[in-house]
Amino acid sequence: MHKIRNVGFSLLASLAVALTTFVGAACAQGALPSWNDGTFVTTVTREGSPDFVVPAERIAVFDNDGTLWTEQPGPVQLAFALDRVKTLAPQHPEWKDKQPFKAALEGDMKTLAESGEHGILEMFMATHAGMTTDEFAKIVTDWLVTARHPRFQRPYTDLVYQPMLEVLAYFRANGFKTFIVSGGGIEFMRPWAERVYGIPPEQVIGSSVKTKFQMRDGRPELFRLPELNFNDDKAGKPVAINQHIGRRPIAAFGNSDGDLEMLQWTTMTGGIRFGLIVHHTDAEREYAYDRNVILGRLDKALDGAAVNKWTVADMKRDWKVVFPFEKR
């Protein structure tokens, strides 16, 4: 919340060029040719405008990994899982000889990747289940205090994008409800999303394991089971948006092919809509990748941006700052 509160309505006058990405560039690029001098947000919030949207319908959805915080050199939650394997290894002597745990313990990413979806899922279930929801939230919170990003040597929650914090604040200042819709774990994000993004738990949507209600020592608890409940990625994102929100968003922000269907669901309909893709083009300040990677690949969604007039935010060109700590 620290950086967000100060932004308010004066955002348009603020420093970040990022904002012109969608309040201006959408226009300049002809993405929304029916706008005159306007912008998406000012258009949908102008009473009397034919494109006016009542506050209740102002829903904006944001991917997390690569859209709100950095996802390179690998997803933060993967780093968490690898650390958890090390922490739990003493209780699992068999892991020394059992894949994918052996590879995880040895830091052998190639063998880990070769264990495939099944292997990765097994590692996630072994590290993300077998405790209550409250216990898991504490594990995540504690881990984030000490874990450091390998390149920036900072807590992962420092590596959120300042321009996107401003977008979140700007949308909320204009009556939008902002939701995270991420392939990442819903319970991995909730413990810190409110503090860092100003997004409360009930507006965080993500992948999940099954949980079971049970009584222990006369107290109710929710126990996390080693079984995938929902994979909130690709075509799963519109499904989860409908399940959790029950309204179709009017603005969507993503950065990879995992966000393609969410952007389609949001924008390919009647009425004024806004789609934006964060394009990682800045190897110096962050990372440069799109069609050339596996995790976080931006390929079909980049083609979709051209077809559907989604704004592409070029990190190198459009973002005056990337991370909050660059601001002095």
Name the site residues for a second copy (rule: CB under 8 A): 56, 59, 133, 177, 186-187, 190, 194, 200-204, 208, 211-213, 215, 218-220, 222, 229, 235-236, 238-239, 242-247, 261, 264-265, 268-269
- Nearest distance in Å: CB 218, a second copy: 8
Residue number with CB closer to a second copy (84 or 190): 190
Coil, strand or helix at 252: strand
Residue number with CB closer to a second copy (119 or 249): 249
Q: Omega of the bond prior to 100 within 30 degrees of 0, cis?
A: yes
Q: Minimal CA–CA distance to 158: which of 328, 324, 278?
A: 324
Residue number with CB closer to a second copy (109 or 239): 239
Q: Minimal CA–CA distance to 133: which of 206, 190, 61?
A: 190
- Nearest distance in Å: CB 132, a second copy: 10
Residue number with CB closer to a second copy (75 or 304): 304
- Nearest distance in Å: CB 208, a second copy: 6
Rounded to an integer, what is the distance from CA 112 to the centroid of its chain? 24
Cα–Cα distance list, 244 to 19, 123, 241 (Å) = 28, 27, 5
Residue number with CB closer to a second copy (105 or 125): 125
- Nearest distance in Å: CB 5, a second copy: 15
**Rounded CA separation 258/277 (Å):** 11
Residue number with CB closer to a second copy (142 or 202): 202
H/E stretch holding 265 reads: helix 260-267
H/E stretch holding 143 reads: helix 133-146
- Nearest distance in Å: CB 176, a second copy: 13
- Nearest distance in Å: CB 227, a second copy: 13
Q: Are 305 and 299 in contact (CB under 8 A)?
A: no
- Nearest distance in Å: CB 51, a second copy: 20
Q: Minimal CA–CA distance to 189: which of 278, 104, 283, 67?
A: 67
Residue number with CB closer to a second copy (72 or 203): 203
Residue that the structure tokens 């993967």 belong to:
78
